[in-house]
Structure 1
Amino acid sequence: MTKNTASAPSSEDAPAQSPAAQRTPTSLHDVVTLLHLNLIPLLEPEDARSLLLCYQHTPLSRGVRNAIATHGLKRFYDRDEAHFGNGCMGDWHRLVPVSPVGGRSGRCACIYDSRTKRNIVPEELPLPRILDARAHLLEAMCLIGEGINPHCFRGLQMDRNFDLRQYGVLQPMLFSLATAVEREQQQTTDGTEEQSERIDVDDVDELTRLLDSQEAGFGTRFFSPTNQSRQPAGMVEAHWRGIHVDLATNATTCQFCDNNTDAMLEGPKSLQYRAAEYQFMLRQHCRDVYQPLKKFMVRHLKHIHYVRPSPGWNDAGSRFRGHEWLDLIAGFTPGGVLCGVYLTNVEIPTNWMGFRVSLAPGAYSFEAIDLMRLRIAN
């Protein structure tokens, strides 16, 4: 008795695969590359940043990355009124602000169209394209939105005695050093040849040189050892230099608050105020503004410095009126973007001072002090 066995089909007998079955499956990378112009209008800046981070190891083309990053920056331009390169009060992408924002809530109306009641966002932004600069600027803007901007455009009471009110306001700034690199390339080549792949943020000499090339003496002043070792000149600087950040425990302490608060008092103490009331006045904002801000910057930035301007630098010309100071607190992102805040002191309208919502967290209330004076007087 013979056993029937089925013979295996030969390759010639196998059914032919359709062209669709032979194609490589479409990846998300392909979709983003082909349809990014349709995709990016749906993205908020934070979404655009996350999308770019997803493709660090399988990079998108330079044109696609620039398009995605530019869209995110345009959303910031419109949403947060960060008017990059516009040369106005709201131009955040400057080493030195055109004008202190002060108590104006960070709003700039230079792009507002009263006819359509909408902001006019330009088709192109005057920002560098080399060294993935726009993606790095988008990353820096998202950092500002996350942990820096919440502390900006609100009044800081920096009184050093109860008889003289002093106010400051933080305003955000950022500047891509790719701007300086791109400018150098345009001066030495036809602008199409990249001489480096990235900005080395560990090379302090190179950072200094690039900053100085954009604003004379800026980098030298920023990294000056003297600037970091001298005694604080104001309340914010006194707190900032006294704050210690422990990232391992996510804790902060302020040596100025704990030990040296009285060192910043101006003039003799008045007997009508208790020592605890003086200390409360001088410690305001530190726990709620200065310590969280420094912890965030230490976590995300390198070479963080508190920089005071050189004497008299903002007294000449019409850009400043001489009563503002522009202390800079900033550090560098890994992508070569200087990122931080300017502390400005401006003439704040009296009626603006009265709005408690406009004061930064940790402020003491005027009413409490007035009641205390009444209590002592009686």
Structure 2
Amino acid sequence: MAASPSPEDAPAQSTAAQRTPTSLYDVVTLLYLNLAPLLEPEDARSLLRCYQHAPLSRGVRNAIATHGLKRFYDRDEAHFGNGCMGDWHRLVPMSPVGGRSGRCACIYDSRTKRNIVPEELPLPRILDARAHLLEAMCLIGEGINPHCFRGLQMDRNFDRRQYGVLQPMLFSLATAVEREQQQTTDGTEEQPKRIDVNDVDELTRLLDSQEAGFGTRFFSPTNQSRQPVGMVEAHWRGIHVDLAADATTCQFCDNGTDAMLEGPKSQQYRAAEYQFMLRQHCREVYQPLKKFMVRHLKHIRYVRPSPGWNDDGSRFRGHEWLDLIAGFTPGGVLCGVYLTNVEIPTNWMGFRVSLAPGAYSFEAIDLTRLRIAN
């Protein structure tokens, strides 16, 4: 017969019986400062999703999200809040960066040949903004950034070449809410629990508070009904997305390409050649991009800049394009791309490797190579 436990053993056994196993939640809460630097941004996003409704403190969530954003800061050179050409967290970019392949040297240390990532990022901390920004950055990485910083041929005739490039952007509206709180001194303003992306009036107001007229222009019905002026806009407005069938079609490609021709047709080229030129990039870039954005974002708009945006005195003087294609994540982050100019140097053989998929096989010095096989 087994011996009965001695009275001295009873407290130890009682403590062991009451002891509970350590959970992942305990590990995250206690060791997040050690854990967060080991995670890729996508892993950090998944971890925060697991505890979206669990009582992780705001400090823990912000720390994990900030480490994920720092990885993007270094890996993708998304210099949040730096005010440089690589700053993705802006309603309006500091400058078009397409011709420079999206590279920015503002944080590069020539001695160590490495980027210097700051300890803190100038991003909002309220309303779980950093977790929502991390979510938006992961979306950009999945379905938006693969189409960026690659040359788009937006030709409207064989006699005039037009180039553009897409560059990513995002902006958390928590920035505007945080700014309003800092400007309120009497403490009577009640902090919202979240940004309601279904409230168009509130979205408009917050955008306008950051950039005069931005929100009004973004949601303007007139902006959505006007005729397109460029090839990307013509395709974008013509693309229909069927999420249920996971399919897209482009009415512009099917029916209306001749409407965007600039100048008379040349007898030197066949109708099929014009059609191919005007349909460049649609199946490979514009259609998959729009399908991805429709699947993940709300209130998607194609917005042209306000009149006079590139007049004398503007930092965009001489540029033809600064079109915004964007929508809102559920967390209140405006997310999308800017279409900007790309300047082609005289010797652009190296750049041609970076043309976006679906480009016309164009060799300006050898017109015979423009021919399409029968």
Measured against the shorter chain, the TM-score band is over 0.9
Residue 27 of structure 1 and its aligned partner are, at CA, apart by 1.1
Residue by residue over 1:306-347, the C-alpha shift from the partner in whole angstroms, topping out at 9 and shown as x without a partner, is 001121123242522232320000000000000000000142
Q: How far did 1:57 drift? A: 2.7
Shift of 1:53: 0.6
Structure 1's 190 and 151: CA in aligned 2 closer, same or farther, altered over 3 A?
Answer: farther
Asked if the contact 1:94/1:174 (under 8 Å) is kept, the reply is yes
Cα contact 1:103–1:154 (8 A) shared by 2: no
| Residue range with higher mean Cα deviation, 6-15 or 276-285 | 6-15
More deviation, 186-195/239-248: 186-195
Q: Cα offset for 1:24? A: 2.6
Shift of 1:162: 0.3
User: How far, CA to CA, are the matches of 1:283 and 1:330 in structure 2?
Assistant: 22
* Residue 355 of structure 2: aligned partner: 359
TM-superposed CA distance for 1:21, in Å, is 3.5
Bigger Cα displacement from structure 2, 53-62 vs 115-124 = 53-62
Cα distance in 2 for partners of 1:199, 1:352 equals 45
Provide the rounded CA distance (Å) in 2 between the counterparts of 1:115 and 1:153.
27
- Kept in 2, the 8 Å contact 1:159–1:165? The answer is yes
Tell me whether 347-356 or 193-202 shows the greater mean CA deviation. Answer: 347-356
Measured in 1, the distance between the counterparts of 2:357 and 2:125 equals 38
1:369 Cα shift? 8.8
Contact 2:273/2:372 (8 A) holds in 1: no
Tell whether the 8 Å contact from 1:170 to 1:343 is kept in structure 2 after alignment: yes
What TM-score does the superposition give when structure 1 sets the normalisation length? 0.92
The 3 A distance-change label for structure 1 pair 129 and 286 is same
Q: Could you say what the CA RMSD is over the residues aligned between the two structures, in angstroms?
A: 2.9
- Please identify, of 22-31 and 206-215, the stretch whose mean Cα deviation from structure 2 is larger: 22-31
Q: Shift in Å at residue 356 of structure 1? A: 2.8
Post-superposition offset of 1:58: 1.6
52-61 vs 166-175, greater mean Cα deviation? 52-61
Decide which structure has the larger Cα Rg and report it.
1
1:35 corresponds to 2:31: yes
In the TM superposition, what whole-angstrom CA distance separates every residue of 1:275-307 from its partner, at most 9, and x where no partner exists?
000000000100000000000000000000000
User: In the alignment, does 2:313 pair up with 1:317?
Assistant: yes
Question: Once the 2 structures are TM-superposed, how far is the Cα of residue 20 of structure 1 from its aligned partner?
Answer: 3.8
Q: Does 1:146 align with 2:142?
A: yes
- CA gap of 1:219–1:22, structure 2 versus 1, over 3 A, is same
The answer (yes or no) to whether the contact 2:297–2:327 under 8 Å persists in 1 is: yes
CA shift at 1:17, angstroms? Answer: 1.5
Residue 333 of structure 1 corresponds to 329
* Cα distance in 1, alignment partners of residues 371 and 291 from structure 2: 39
The 8 Å contact of residues 363 and 370 in structure 2, kept in 1 or not, is answered as: no
Residues 7, 331 of structure 1: CA spacing in aligned structure 2 closer, same or farther, 3 A cutoff? same
Q: Is the 8 A contact 1:306 1:327 kept in 2?
A: yes
- 1:222 deviates by 0.2
Q: Which runs of 5+ in 2 are unaligned?
A: none
> Structure 1's 78 and 286: CA in aligned 2 closer, same or farther, altered over 3 A?
same
Alpha-carbon spacing, 1:9–1:89, altered in 2? closer, same or farther (3 Å):
closer
Contact 1:252 1:291 in 2 (8 A): yes
Maintained 8 Å contact 2:273/2:371: no
Partner secondary structure for residue 245 of structure 1: strand
- Equivalent residues of 1:102, 1:348 under 8 A apart: no
Q: How far off its partner does 1:120 sit?
A: 0.5
Distance 2:241 2:370 in 1: 40
User: 1:93: how far off?
Assistant: 0.2
Name the count of aligned residue pairs.
373
For the structure 1 residues 99 and 355, does the alpha-carbon distance in structure 2 shift closer, same or farther, using more than 3 Å as the test?
Answer: closer
Distance 1:259 1:49, change over 3 A: same
- Give the Å deviation of 1:166: 0.4
Relative distance call for 1:144 and 1:14 in structure 2 (3 A) is same
Bigger shift: residues 97-106 or 335-344: 97-106
Q: What SS does structure 2 have at the residue aligned with 1:358?
A: coil
Native 8 Å contact 2:99 2:341 kept in 1: no
Determine helix, strand or coil for the equivalent of 1:368.
Answer: coil
Structure 1 unaligned residues grouped into runs of 5+: 1-5
The 1:318–1:14 alpha-carbon spacing in structure 2 relative to 1, beyond 3 Å, is closer
Q: Is the 8 A contact 1:156 1:359 kept in 2?
A: yes
Taking a change above 3 Å as real, the CA distance of residues 59 and 273 of structure 1, as seen in their structure-2 partners, is farther
1:232-269 superposed Cα distances (whole Å, 9 cap, x missing partner): 01000000000000000000000000000110001111
**1:68 aligns to what SS in structure 2?**
helix
Does the C-alpha gap of structure 1 residues 79 and 162 become closer, same or farther in structure 2, counting only changes over 3 Å? same
- Give the whole-Å Cα distance in 2 for the aligned partners of 1:239 and 1:377: 25
State the match for 2:256 in structure 1.
260
State the shift of 1:365 in Å: 1.4
1:18, distance to aligned residue in structure 2 (A):
4.7
Aligned counterpart in structure 1 of residue 204 of structure 2, from 208, 216, 229: 208
CA distance in 1: counterparts of 2:167 and 2:187, whole angstroms: 33
1:272/1:376 contact within 8 Å kept: no
C-alpha change, 1:61 and 1:359, in structure 2 (3 Å) is same
**Pair 1:271 & 2:267 matched:** yes
- Structure 1's 337 and 353: CA in aligned 2 closer, same or farther, altered over 3 A? farther
252-261 vs 304-313, which moves further: 304-313
Matched with 1:168 is: 164
For residues 76 and 192 of structure 1, the distance between their equivalents in structure 2, rounded to whole angstroms, comes to 37
Q: Using the aligned pairs only, state the percent identity.
A: 94
TM-superposed deviation, 1:360: 0.4
1:75-111 superposed Cα distances (whole Å, 9 cap, x missing partner): 1000000000000000000000000012211110110
Q: Is the 8 A contact 1:157 1:166 kept in 2?
A: yes
Tell me how far apart the structure 1 counterparts of residues 373 and 47 of structure 2 sit (CA, whole Å). 63
User: For residues 191 and 7 of structure 1, do their structure 2 counterparts lie closer, same or farther at Cα, with a shift above 3 Å needed?
Assistant: same
Tell me by how many angstroms 1:15 deviates.
Answer: 7.9
Assess if the C-alpha contact under 8 Å between 1:228 and 1:305 holds in 2. yes
